[in-house]
Structures are given as C-alpha cells and as structure tokens.
Amino acid sequence: MSKSIMEVVAEAKAMVPSISPEELKGILGQDKVLIVDVRDAPELTDTGKVQGALNVSRGMLEFRADEATPYHNKAFAKDKTIILYCASGGRSALAGKALMELGYQDVRSLGAFKDWVEAGGAIEKP
C-alpha cells in the first residue's frame, strides 16, 4: 500500500525530536552543534539563514553526511547534535529521519525558518 508524501512527512516528524527556537538560542555556537539549512540555495538569497548554519540542500544531505562518499563534508560528525530546518518543516523532518538511518544519534528538527525569525533568532544574509 502506498503512502502520500504528507503521510511520510508525518511519520518523519513523529520520529525526529523537535527543538524550539529558544532551546536553539541556548546552544547556538557550541562546537558539538551543527545547524543545517536543507533549503535550496536560491531560497537563502532572499531570507538568509540561521547564524552559523551550514547550507546543504536536501538532495545532497545524505552524501554530505556519509563519510564513505567522496562528497562528505567534515562538518558532519556522529558525535554532534545536528539541528535541521527548512522553509516549513517537512524537508527538515525527512532529513532528520535520513540522518538517523545513517547512524546519527542526536538529531533535532527546528522546523520552519520563519519560526526562528519570528523568535528573534540571529540571521546571516548572503
């Protein structure tokens, strides 16, 4: 039996713990925390990104996170807390589920970038 994408996203959201903007503010900048913006690069042009976030589009995430690929980004380490976000929370939930399947233990979803902005979170503009 097939599922809709919204069912798949709902399952991912149920698996990946969330983190609030206020909680993220408390750990922002710590060495063992990696914030990942999984939006596509053009989305960042208008809005910017969370201060210190690494932009890795959703389509490349697993390749950047898996140390066995030539595309691995050394910022990804399984002993870090990985915080993901996107435009509305769907891609970040799917990304979190994928990272958990790759063996990442401490993965959280901030959800929507707009929630960070509305909470007064620090932003970097391109």
The model's pLDDT over 67-124, given as tens digits with 9 standing for 90+, comes to: 999 999 999 999 999 999 999 999 999 999 999 999 999 999 999 999 999 999 999 9
Backbone angles phi, psi at 48, to 5 degrees: 80, -165
Instruction: Tell me 29's DSSP state.
Output: T
19 in a structural domain: yes
Compute and round to an integer the Cα radius of gyration of the chain: 14
Backbone angles phi, psi at 106, to 5 degrees: -115, 85
**pLDDT value of residue 126:** 80
Burial of 41 (0-12, 13-18, 19+ CB in 10 A): exposed
16 in a structural domain: yes
The mean pLDDT of the chain is 96
**pLDDT value of residue 84:** 98
**pLDDT value of residue 69:** 97
Structural domains in the chain (count): 1
79 in a structural domain: yes
Q: Containing domain of residue 38, as a range?
A: 5-117
Q: Give the count of beta carbons closer than 10 Å to the beta carbon of residue 73.
A: 18
**Which CATH number do you get for residue 25?**
3.40.250.10
